[in-house]
Structure 1
Amino acid sequence: METRQRLLDAAARVFSRHGYAAGTTNRIAEEAGHSIGSLYQYFPNKDAILAELAGAHAEEGIARLRRRFEEGAPPNSLEGRLRMCVRIAIDLHRDDAPLHRVIFEEAPRTPEFLRMVHEAEEEFLEALQALLAADPEVTVADVPMAARLVVTTVEGAVHRIVTHDPPDDLERLENALVTMLMRYLTN
């Protein structure tokens, strides 16, 4: 089990540094300090390694999301709830942003992985829709569509900015997204 984990850790570093195409099994084995034969005892190819990394990454993101919602009542204000959602997205993306980019943009994704991500998004969407529907500050007429737009806007903007050109101060991104969403939801 230790060798398997060492290979996975090495693969995460290699994919983060070199991307999917140049993240070869030879590089992974070398980074882990193992022979290529040893790597193949645990994984048939780099796609299997990346699939395991992607699954673990998605599971960790889902667990973080659930913990945030289970930690207690959401903030009392609409702005506070939006800020919480944006922070969750930023936190999920900033931890090893290069690996996140490889997983979501460069590598093939298994149907199981896509299903896991879709289920997590739907769970988050339902929670957000309930929060928006119960909030007297929200004036937008179509709350289900508004919840979907908030989720996709936050995910898209955070993913693109954090994984490609992160600002030195992620609070700027958070503030800009919260301001934009507040104007949309309350006008």
Structure 2
Amino acid sequence: MPEKTEKPGTAKPGAETTTATEDRPRRRQARGERRIAQLLDAAATVFSTTGYTAASTNAIAREAGVSPGTLYQFFPNKEAIAIELGSRLMHEMRQSYDEALTPIDPGATPIEDVIAGTVDRFIEFNCRHPAFFALMHGPDIPGRIAEEHDALHRTLTARVEALLAPFTPGTPAPTLARTAQMCVGIYKAGLELVLAHEGAEREAYVQELKVTLLRYLSPLVGDVVK
């Protein structure tokens, strides 16, 4: 007997069932990822409003518009939420300073432009993610976040040091390291003031921060930028 041939475009028996079975886990996974993103967005709002210590899983669930039971399907407690949110924000922060702290030719870009561009980039990130400051600098943050933040701080300081090196030829390494530490410290102190204000006052504090860093660095880089 001649073999039966299938019509073009006709699926084999059971093919649709197999495809549907494979699609279901993917749809569940996509829904789960959307729910996690929803919970993390709500946590960011709660943490930035009340701080980590005063925040609660009930408040986060309420902000997300879900029941506490739904929240516990994805996170066992507030600390787990903070760790996941903190890790994601730190990853984004690393991407920001990878772009902002690329060593440049001091003869082509004045130090004041370097300061302005770097400060603007970091301020923009923190204003867009106020929960980052609340998690990284607040009291009683989870130990894992503190450890990751310490590592982030060390890397950030090293990148600032590398950025300043072309502007400070001949400067001893210990002096350059202290200068980078001071720049990061000045920025963090100014950031707290910037985030405490809004509108024109915030912009004024951003400008003050840039001026402070420029005045601090000018004696060290003066010979290069003249």
Fold in common (TM above 0.5): yes
Q: Which residue of structure 2 aligns with residue 77 of structure 1?
A: 110
User: For structure 1, which runs of at least 5 residues remain unmatched after alignment?
Assistant: none
Counterpart residue identity of residue 128, structure 1: V
Q: Which residue of structure 1 aligns with residue 94 of structure 2?
A: 62
User: For structure 2, which runs of at least 5 residues remain unmatched after alignment?
Assistant: 1-31, 220-226
Q: Which residue of structure 1 aligns with residue 189 of structure 2?
A: 156
Query: Quick one: percent identity of the two aligned structures?
Result: 27
Q: Is the 8 A contact 2:194 2:206 kept in 1?
A: no
Of 28-37 and 41-50, the range deviating more from structure 2: 28-37
Over 3 Å counting, the alpha-carbon distance change for 1:20 and 1:90 in structure 2 is same
Calculate the TM-score normalised by the size of structure 1. 0.80
The alignment status of 1:119 with 2:144, answered yes or no, reads no
Over 3 Å counting, the alpha-carbon distance change for 1:88 and 1:41 in structure 2 is same
Cα deviation code 1:10-66 (max 9, x no counterpart) = 222233334334432222222323222221121111121122112212221111111
Calculate the TM-score normalised by the size of structure 2. 0.68
Q: CA deviation at 1:170?
A: 3.9
Counterpart Cα distance in 2 of 1:82 and 1:38: 45
Which has the larger Rg? 2
Over 3 Å counting, the alpha-carbon distance change for 1:92 and 1:130 in structure 2 is same
2:141 is paired with a residue whose SS is coil
CA RMSD of aligned residues (A): 2.9
Counterpart Cα distance in 2 of 1:183 and 1:12: 35
Structure with bigger RCO (C-alpha 8 Å, 6+ apart): 1
* 4+ residue runs over 6 A deviation: 137-141
Counterpart Cα distance in 1 of 2:163 and 2:58: 49
Q: How many residues align?
A: 184
Q: Which residue of structure 2 aligns with residue 53 of structure 1?
A: 85
Counterpart Cα distance in 1 of 2:120 and 2:170: 20
